[in-house]
């Protein structure tokens, strides 16, 4: 068999070509791995941001409604007017002002000689802070699911309209009102669900969902 003898220049060219091909392949593999790694990192960042922007607690809890005061000495002074209640309860839910009889749409709390802190019963947004000649300073707070609470007969207010308040935030101090002078320092607390007045005494320790679903 006849041997083929290649010139040195050809051998050198082939070696260089093979070397360049090998380097090109190594570069391509490295670039592909970096691209894959970068894409995975971008996907991970995107997914992480997606969850951060739409955080939803797996165990969703709704705060229970607390009383609009923290002092254990404070007590109910009158009743919420409910046409279904007995006659004695209804009588204690009638406000007599200047020969005019008014059905009580909330419950007044007081019974101590001094003023006391009035607090938000739920987290929410303050939608109104105003003063009334009969009822003193009045604060209205809007909560989730159409729940609105109103705090009347305040002597001072420590929050302002537009504030977001947490549950138990002190919103003011109990005061006097020209509508119910005989009650002394008190707060008249009202709560509505989708526009309907509820008896506050039936709302405490219940969640917003329970109130909305039962009314």
Tell me which residues of the chain have a pLDDT lower than 70: 1-22, 24, 26-62, 215
**Are residues 48 and 79 located together in one domain of the fold?**
no
Q: What is the CATH number of the domain that holds 143?
A: 2.70.70.10
**Are residues 29 and 114 located together in one domain of the fold?**
no
pLDDT score for 87? 79
**Are residues 40 and 92 located together in one domain of the fold?**
no
Helix (H, G, I), strand (E, B) or coil at 79: coil
Residues 6+ apart with CB under 8 A from 81: 90, 93, 94, 103, 104, 105
Task: Please state the domain count of the chain.
Answer: 2
**Are residues 130 and 189 located together in one domain of the fold?**
yes
144 falls within a domain: yes
**Are residues 18 and 118 located together in one domain of the fold?**
no
**Are residues 41 and 141 located together in one domain of the fold?**
no
**For residue 71, how many other CB atoms are within 10 A of its CB?**
16
**For residue 211, how many other CB atoms are within 10 A of its CB?**
22
Residue 92 burial (C-beta neighbours within 10 Å; 0-12, 13-18, 19+): middle
**Are residues 205 and 170 located together in one domain of the fold?**
yes
Tens-digit pLDDT profile for residues 153-197: 999 999 999 999 999 999 999 999 998 888 999 999 999 998 899
**Are residues 29 and 119 located together in one domain of the fold?**
no
**Are the CB atoms for 189 and 109 separated by under 8 Å?**
yes
**Are residues 40 and 82 located together in one domain of the fold?**
no
67 falls within a domain: no
pLDDT score for 88? 82
**Are residues 133 and 42 located together in one domain of the fold?**
no
Residue 200 is part of which domain span?
A: 75-213
**Are residues 31 and 102 located together in one domain of the fold?**
no
- Predicted TM-score (pTM) above 0.75: no
**Are residues 23 and 79 located together in one domain of the fold?**
no
């Amino acid at each position: 068999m006849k041997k083929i003898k290649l010139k040195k220049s050809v051998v050198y060219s082939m070696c260089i070509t093979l070397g360049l091909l090998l380097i090109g392949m190594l570069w391509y593999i490295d670039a592909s791995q970096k691209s894959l790694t970068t894409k995975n990192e971008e996907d991970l960042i995107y997914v992480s941001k997606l969850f951060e922007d739409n955080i939803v607690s797996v165990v969703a809890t709704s705060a229970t409604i607390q009383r609009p005061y923290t002092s254990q000495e404070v007590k109910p002074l009158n009743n919420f007017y409910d046409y279904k209640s007995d006659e004695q309860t209804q009588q204690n839910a009638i406000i007599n002002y200047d020969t005019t009889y008014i059905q009580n749409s909330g419950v007044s709390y007081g019974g101590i000689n001094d003023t006391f802190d009035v607090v938000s019963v739920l987290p929410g947004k303050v939608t109104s802070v105003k003063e009334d000649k009969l009822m003193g300073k009045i604060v209205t707070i809007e909560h989730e699911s159409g729940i609105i609470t109103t705090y009347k007969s305040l002597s001072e207010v420590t929050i302002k309209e537009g504030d977001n308040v947490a549950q138990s935030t002190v919103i003011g101090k109990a005061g006097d009102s020209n509508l119910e002078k005989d009650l002394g320092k008190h707060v008249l607390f009202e709560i509505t669900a989708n526009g309907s007045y509820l008896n506050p005494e039936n709302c405490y320790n219940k969640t917003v969902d329970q109130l909305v679903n039962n009314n």
